[in-house]
Structure 1
Amino acid sequence: MGKSIASRFENVDLVRSELRAVIINDDELTLEMDFCLEEAHPDYEAPGVGEDCCFHPGLLKFAGISKLSLERAEHSPEAVRRYAIQSFHIEGSKFDMACDWGTIHLQARSIRVLTE
């Protein structure tokens, strides 16, 4: 049996993690993430020069979306590569996140966490 959603975030600091991209296809939503790993995480490595966190790329994939609300924040014209997260919550089939990109609220049949 696979790991639960909550167990996949063990030793991951979600609020210090960052959103890289939002991709929408039909009834699917993919969030490209840089997860901030804590020292106890098996993939943890010392942070790179100029970084205060061990960032590890990954994806949050939502399929079978029955409710979706995206509210994009206004940004200056400069290209932003990472968006800071203020709040992050997954409970059952519901997901809510507020970040510099904007806010995301959804309900989906399937929520998968993938790391590279």
Structure 2
Amino acid sequence: MGKSIASRFENIDIIASVLRAVIINDDELTLEMDFCLEEDHPEYETPGEGEECCFHPGLLKFAGISKLSLERAEGAASSSRRFAIQSFNIEGTKFDMACEWGTIHLQARSIRVLTE
């Protein structure tokens, strides 16, 4: 049996994590992330000098999207490499996130959390 979505974020501080990129392909949406790992996460390493978090690259992949709303924030610099997250919510097949990049609202058949 697969893990619940909530358990896949165990020991990840999602609000301290950052969005790196939004990629849209057909009925899929991929969010490239730098996840902020907490000390109890198996991949955790002590942050280096001047770093606030143990960042670890990962992906949020949404497939079978039935509803999608992307609203790019005015003034969101296209040259920015990392976008801070203000709110993040997954309930069943629904996902909502607000960040410096903008807002993302969707409903998808499949939501996967992948770490590299």
Q: Give the TM-score range, shorter chain.
A: over 0.9
Structure 2 unaligned segments of length 5 or more: list them: none
Question: Which residue number corresponds to residue 33 of structure 2?
Answer: 33
- Equivalent position amino acid for 2:33 in 1: M
4+ residue runs of structure 1 moved beyond 4 angstroms? Answer: none
| Distance apart, 1:2 and its partner CA | 1.9
- Separation of aligned partners in 1, 2:64 and 2:58: 20
Count of matched residue positions in the alignment of Structure 1 and Structure 2: 116
- Equivalent position amino acid for 2:13 in 1: D
Question: Which residue number corresponds to residue 106 of structure 1?
Answer: 106
Question: Which residue number corresponds to residue 9 of structure 2?
Answer: 9
- Separation of aligned partners in 2, 1:36 and 1:30: 18
Cα deviation digits, residues 18-65 of structure 1 (max 9, x gap): 000000011100000000001111110011232100000000000000
- Separation of aligned partners in 2, 1:113 and 1:95: 13
Normalized against structure 2, the TM-score is what?
Answer: 0.95
Change (3 A) 1:66 1:37: same
Range with bigger deviation, 47-56 or 70-79: 70-79
Change (3 A) 1:76 1:6: closer
Give the SS at the match of 1:6: helix
- Equivalent position amino acid for 1:95 in 2: F
The CA RMSD over aligned residues, in Å, is 1.2
Normalized against structure 1, the TM-score is what?
Answer: 0.95
- Equivalent position amino acid for 2:63 in 1: A
- Equivalent position amino acid for 1:90 in 2: I
Matches within 5 A, 1:1-116: 1-75=1-75, 79-116=79-116
- Separation of aligned partners in 2, 1:57 and 1:48: 16
Give the SS at the match of 2:74: coil
Change (3 A) 1:3 1:78: closer
| Distance apart, 1:78 and its partner CA | 6.8
